[in-house]
């Protein structure tokens, strides 16, 4: 290793903190592009050209694997003659520091966390070669699995299952004959420890469920993470010497509401006109090594004669939108609020009244559901889910509970939004690990068209009330850690910048007020985000919150309220407030996170 990378900025993206002495040539770093901590792993021997191409292909495949608790793989990188790979970061000890034995239920909890992680890796065609040093115990008791870089092409899934069984036996003390274990468990373990092509478990989950049955333990009764203050794992995590928290980039200064009399802004107001972004997309294409593969051909082959709309980096006029009529409701608290609710490590969809009360669970599949949003009439939910393996868009009819998949083969789809008349859906799609582009499709799932393939990753979008334009948030590769909001005129394909690089981290979500006068988004450093309201005609930014790490704001259908999620009490919950930041009310209070809210009729 030529030099110590501590306190260095690599590739204008990874702000390295310290070397992790217990993890070899690895460093903790802050990814300015993803706005989250990561681990940078130095490769002592740079791969040759053929090996490098194989590694890059492998990296693209591994980067698509997502599963709760599995540390994501973010790619292979070069800096000069050196190479390194990056994955998610887990603060906490690895399993090799845990002294066995642990109670049987605690060992089964490890199986419950690791089994779906291994199955997700196997489904992608890879084997993990499970090792204790790649299993981490988080501060909150969550069990993380890292080391995806060392995955090998899958030959027999029961090789990994054997490794999982060996770790399970180690947790129980290593000597099964001396342990006071259920007899049936002793009978089924050889099937995992000494598998053959004829006798083996088909999946890690099958092994976990069989072990639970052998121990007469209901799998559903086991916690999703390690609990209990006196358990060996909890004591190890409690006594672990954690590194100090990473410092995040400082947010830009914006107008704050006055501490008293919150019905008017303070004297420090940014007033500027909307600026054109000449040349921004040309710079973006120069920075990216290749355009997104397959995007143009996919659109051209879709039903109908539509073709991708080329982005034009010129100034676009921003006229005041006309208001959409909304049904009256007492104090504006009508309709329903849908949000993503994490329950037992799985992301589902939940619903709550704007007046609070009981929370309704809308989905309960063993899959992750994200980014819910209502149809204009409030009768349908649009959301992204990986229940088919790949993240696709689904439409759920709320009255009949009918579920329809809207997309197939259009890449990994994240955020989406209905058009004002409900006939079209805009969405962000990523293909082959490339940044997400902006697409549109009919409500029936036909005629997909590429609207914008800008230089960065598109995180979210919102239709204007008159349907003539789309606001969206996109990361800026030329300025790491920065996100900007844009408006795309659908008639001319003209794009204009809203934030123009003035706010740090203005990403994640965006929404348009019903009268078309304001945009909502959040901005700030990770862990310290604030809700920002932007007035289109004046260019004024107004900070509506003060502390609490707030995100995902959205207007109520009548524009009298704003719903958002906040961690001001330590956990992510759903809140509402007036459009000026006053009258804040908490709607949910669950030990698990509630986030990504949207308000419908």
pLDDT tens digit sequence for 165-185? 999 999 998 776 656 788 888
| Lowest mean pLDDT across 134-143, 179-188, 375-384, 547-556 | 179-188
Which residue shows structure tokens 């509402």? 576
Contact 497, 277 (CB under 8 A): yes
Asked whether the whole model's pTM tops 0.75, one would answer no
Residue 295, pLDDT above cutoff 70: no
pLDDT at 299 over 60: no
Neighbours of 333 (CB within 10 A): 16
Q: How many other CB atoms are found less than 10 A from the CB of residue 51?
A: 11
Q: Are 31 and 120 in contact (CB under 8 A)?
A: no
- Give buried/exposed letters for 144-175 (b at 16+ CB in 10 A, else e): bbbbbbebeebeebbbbbbbbbbbbbbbbeee
Q: Which residue has the tokens 């890879």?
A: 126
Q: What would you report as the CA-atom Rg of the chain, rounded to the nearest whole angstrom?
A: 25
How is residue 487 annotated by DSSP?
A: E
Q: Which two tokens stand for residue 389?
A: 């393996």
- The pLDDT assigned to 457 comes to 85
Is residue 547 over pLDDT 50? yes
Instruction: Quote the crossing angle between the two packed helices 183-193 and 157-171, to the nearest 10°.
Output: 140
DSSP state of 134: G
Q: Are 474 and 457 in contact (CB under 8 A)?
A: yes
- Cα separation, 307 vs 291, in Å, equals 17
Give the model's confidence band at 263: pLDDT under 50 very low, under 70 low, under 90 confident, else very high: very low
Report pLDDT digits (tens) over 61-111: 888 888 989 999 988 888 777 888 999 999 889 998 998 889 999 999 999
The answer, yes or no, to whether residue 572 has pLDDT greater than 60, is yes
Domains and CATH numbers, the chain: 9-88 (3.30.200.20), 95-239 (1.10.510.10), 270-600 (2.120.10.30)
Q: In what order do the strands lie in the sheet with 73-79?
A: 9-10, 14-19, 26-31, 36-43, 82-88, 73-79
Question: Would you state the pLDDT for residue 478?
Answer: 67
Residue 21, pLDDT > 60, answer yes
């Amino acid at each position: 290793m030529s030099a110590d990378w501590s306190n260095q900025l690599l590739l204008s993206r990874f702000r390295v903190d310290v070397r992790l002495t217990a993890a070899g040539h690895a460093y903790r770093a802050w990814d300015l592009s993803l706005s989250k901590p990561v681990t940078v792993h130095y490769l002592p021997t740079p791969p040759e050209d053929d090996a490098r191409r194989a590694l890059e292909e492998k990296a693209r495949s591994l980067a698509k694997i997502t599963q709760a608790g599995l540390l994501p793989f973010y790619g292979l990188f070069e800096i000069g003659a050196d190479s390194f790979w990056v994955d998610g970061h887990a603060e906490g000890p690895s399993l090799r520091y845990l002294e066995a034995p642990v109670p049987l239920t605690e060992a089964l909890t490890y199986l419950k966390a690791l089994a779906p992680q291994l199955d997700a890796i196997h489904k992608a065609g890879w084997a993990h070669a499970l090792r204790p040093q790649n299993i981490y115990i988080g501060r909150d008791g969550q069990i993380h699995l890292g080391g995806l870089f060392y995955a090998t092409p899958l030959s027999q899934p029961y090789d990994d299952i054997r490794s999982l069984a060996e770790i399970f036996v180690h947790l129980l003390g290593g000597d099964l004959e001396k342990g006071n274990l259920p007899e049936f468990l002793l009978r089924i373990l050889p099937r995992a420890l000494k598998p053959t092509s004829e006798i083996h478990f088909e999946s890690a989950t099958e092994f976990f469920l069989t072990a639970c049955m052998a121990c007469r333990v209901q799998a559903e009764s086991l916690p999703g993470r390690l609990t209990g203050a006196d358990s060996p794992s909890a004591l190890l995590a409690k006594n672990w010497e954690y590194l100090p928290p990473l410092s995040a980039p400082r947010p830009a200064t914006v107008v704050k509401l006055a501490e008293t009399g919150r019905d008017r802004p303070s004297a420090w107001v940014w007033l500027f006109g909307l600026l054109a972004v000449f040349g921004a997309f040309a710079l973006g294409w120069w920075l990216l090594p290749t355009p997104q593969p397959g995007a143009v051909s996919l659109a051209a082959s879709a039903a109908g004669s539509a073709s991708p709309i080329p982005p034009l980096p010129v100034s676009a006029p921003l006229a005041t939108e006309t208001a959409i009529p909304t049904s009256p409701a007492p104090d504006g608290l009508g309709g329903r609020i849908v949000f993503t609710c994490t329950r037992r490590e799985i992301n589902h969809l939940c619903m709550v009244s704007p007046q609070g009360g009981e929370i309704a669970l809308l989905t309960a599949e063993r899959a992750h559901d994200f980014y819910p949003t209502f149809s204009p009439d409030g009768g349908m939910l649009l959301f992204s889910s990986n229940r088919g393996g790949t993240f696709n868009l689904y439409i759920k009819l709320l009255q009949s509970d009918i579920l329809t998949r809207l997309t197939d083969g259009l890449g990994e789809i994240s955020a989406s939004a209905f058009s004002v008349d409900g006939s079209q859906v805009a969405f962000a799609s990523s293909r082959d690990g490339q940044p997400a582009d902006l697409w549109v499709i009919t409500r029936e799932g036909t005629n997909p068209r590429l609207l914008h393939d800008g230089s960065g990753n598109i995180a979210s979008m919102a239709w204007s009330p008159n349907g003539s334009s789309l606001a969206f948030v996109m990361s800026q590769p030329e300025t790491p850690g920065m996100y900007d909001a844009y408006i795309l005129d659908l008639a001319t394909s003209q794009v204009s910048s809203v934030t123009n690089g003035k706010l740090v981290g203005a990403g994640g979500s965006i929404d348009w007020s019903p009268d078309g006068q304001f945009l909502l988004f959040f901005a700030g450093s990770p862990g310290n985000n604030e809700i920002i309201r932007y007035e289109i005609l004046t260019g004024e930014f107004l900070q509506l919150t003060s502390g609490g790490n707030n995100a995902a704001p959205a207007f109520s259908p009548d524009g009298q309220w704003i719903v958002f999620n906040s961690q001001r009490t330590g956990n992510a919950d759903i809140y509402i407030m007036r459009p000026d930041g006053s009258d804040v009310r908490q709607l949910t209070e669950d030990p698990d996170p509630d986030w990504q809210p949207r308000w419908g009729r």
